[in-house]
Amino acid sequence: RLGRRAEEMSLKAYVVGGFVRDLLLGKENQDLDIVIEGDALSFIKSWEADGCRVAVHERYRTGTIVFPGGRKIDVATARREFYEYPVALPKVVGDSLKHDLYRRDFTVNSMAISINGTSWGTLIDYFGGRRDLQKRQLRVLHNLSFVEDPTRVLRGLRLKHRLGFEFEDNTVRLIKSAIKGGLLALLSGTRVKNELKLIFLEERAYPIVLEMVHLGIFEALFPGIKIDRNCLRVIRRLSFFLRRIHYDLPDMGDKVWLAFLAAVLFSSAEWVQEATIDKLHLSKPDREAVERALNDLGTAENAVGGRVIRSHEEIYFFLEDVPYVTALFWAAATEQWRVRRRILLFLTRLHRIHPILMGRDLIELGYPKGALIGKILDELLRARLRGEVETREDEIRWIKK
Ligand code: CTP
């Protein structure tokens, strides 16, 4: 449909980037990116009449179309490096697409597929992307790629490990000189944060972090940082938990990355920890979760550790107000197996426990609205944690008693 619409409007449309790469690799990818030769804005707006929600960015001539089923598609106007006159002379067909593709990071991401009428399905590969896919290598399109955008070093590492590719020799050389030349230090904290988050959220984050350490990327980003075997051990454990008990853990969404950040900072001096957190512009709650993780590991070990038996109640009420990611970090960072086991018990089971009866049930049972109800529910929760009640009837009996 997208192609037919473009055809009707005499525009040329292409699917580009990660979607094409993954299609050729036989991998699923839900992110459809379309590039239009001509003006994407009128194309995007035309979908409003079909019941789609659309949003456009006038200045960049880009936008998104959200189809009624919820599927979202990004549409951009093929961009040229240099200034384009508003009434440019008609260009050679394909010229602006080629420029658009040339601005991209790696050859495997620089391919397009036409979705117009007769040329539907034609692969456009100006820079040898398909050959590099076959060779399973990541290669930049030109030597200034990392100068243009140093986040590509981090993107490259993420992609390399996700796809199981290698960097081509010249690309490795350019990465090393980008790091040595201090290009990563020029990036804004927000951009670094976004890339780190994506790396830590990868299924196999540990090998990426390991390679980042070997390349000296963390030192380049955060001067003075100290990443030692302890940090790496914590990161390995975090990855292990997320792989093995992911479905039993509370849903932390993308906040999980904060536990990895704390792990990376685990062995550094306090001023480095603070400077890093400052640089990344964390939100207040995120910042507090990381600081608490780093500062209160000892407190947590004292509260739930030791050879004495700790009741479920005790564990629950110590961890109840702790952000899940902070608790997850402690479980990975402690060297005391009892502490680890008890925190994981909370994260996999105890945190889910709550009374069956709810406030309005108690009102129906004749209790007055107000603080008393909160108190009863709290006591019921404690009784449940002690294993004294199981069913709803147990709870009612317990209250009457
Ligand atoms: N791109 C780039 N330089 C960047 C970021 C993105 O050249 N710093 C290009 C890449 O060629 C990429 C395209 O923009 O294919 C779209 O970016 P994005 O959606 O972030 O990447 P995907 O390749 O779809 O990767 P992922 O699967 O990780 O989302």
pLDDT digits (tens, 9 = 90+) for 361-399: 888 888 888 888 999 999 999 999 998 999 999 999 998
> Would you say residue 339 has pLDDT above 60?
yes
For ligand 1, whether the C-beta of 109 sits within 6 Å is yes
CA of 17 relative to ligand 1 center, distance in Å: 7
Cβ of 31 less than 6 Å from ligand 1: yes
pLDDT for 356 equals: 92
Residue 219 predicted with pLDDT over 70: yes
Q: Please work out whether the CB of residue 152 comes within 6 Å of at least one atom of ligand 1.
A: yes
Q: What pLDDT is recorded for position 320?
A: 94
Pocket test for ligand 1, best of 15, 109, 127, 159 (most atoms within 8 A of CB): 109
Task: Kindly give the number of the ligand 1 atom that is closest to the alpha carbon of 152.
Answer: 8
Candidate of 25, 31, 62, 108 to mutate for ligand 1, largest count of ligand atoms within 8 Å of Cβ = 31
Mean of pLDDT values over 88-109: 76
ipTM score assigned to the predicted complex: 0.93
Query: How far, in Å, CA of 33 to CA of 22, rounded?
Result: 12
Q: Which residue's CA lies nearest to atom 27 of ligand 1?
A: 18
> So what's the pLDDT on residue 312?
94
Q: How would you write the chain as a 3-class SS string? A: CHHHHHHHCCCEEEEECHHHHHHHCCCCCCCEEEEEECCHHHHHHHHHHHCCEEEEECCCCEEEEECCCCCEEEEEECCCCCCCCCCCCCCCCCHHHHHHHHCCCEHHHCCEEECCHHHCCCEECCCCHHHHHHCCEECECCCCHHHHCCHHHHHHHHHHHHHCCEECHHHHHHHHHHHHCCHHHHCCHHHHHHHHHHHHCCCCHHHHHHHHHHHCHHHHHCCCCCCCHHHHHHHHHHHHHHHHCHHHCCCCHHHHHHHHHHHHHCCCCHHHHHHHHHHCCCCHHHHHHHHHHHHCHHHHHHHHCCCCCCCHHHHHHHHCCCCHHHHHHHHHHCCCHHHHHHHHHHHHCHHHCCCCCCHHHHHHCCCCCCHHHHHHHHHHHHHHHCCCCCCHHHHHHHHHC
Model pLDDT, residue 95: 60
Ligand 1, atom 16, lies closest to the CA of: 17
**Percentage of the chain exceeding pLDDT 70:** 96
Nearest-atom number in ligand 1 for the CA of 103 is 7
Mutation to probe ligand 1, out of 105, 107, 157, 204 (largest number of atoms < 8 A from CB): 105
pLDDT, tens digit, 9 for 90 and up, residues 186-207: 999 999 999 999 999 999 999 9
The verdict on the CB of residue 148 being under 6 Å from ligand 1 is no
Mean pLDDT value across residues 88-101: 65
What is the helix, strand, coil percentage profile of the chain, to 5?
A: 60, 10, 35
Chain-wide mean pLDDT for the chain? Answer: 92
**262-317: pLDDT as tens digits:** 999 999 999 999 999 999 999 999 999 999 999 999 999 999 998 888 899 999 99
Span from the CA of 139 to the centroid of ligand 1 (angstroms): 14
- Ligand 1 pocket member 149 (CB < 6 A): yes
pLDDT at 118 > cutoff 90: no
pTM of the model: 0.90
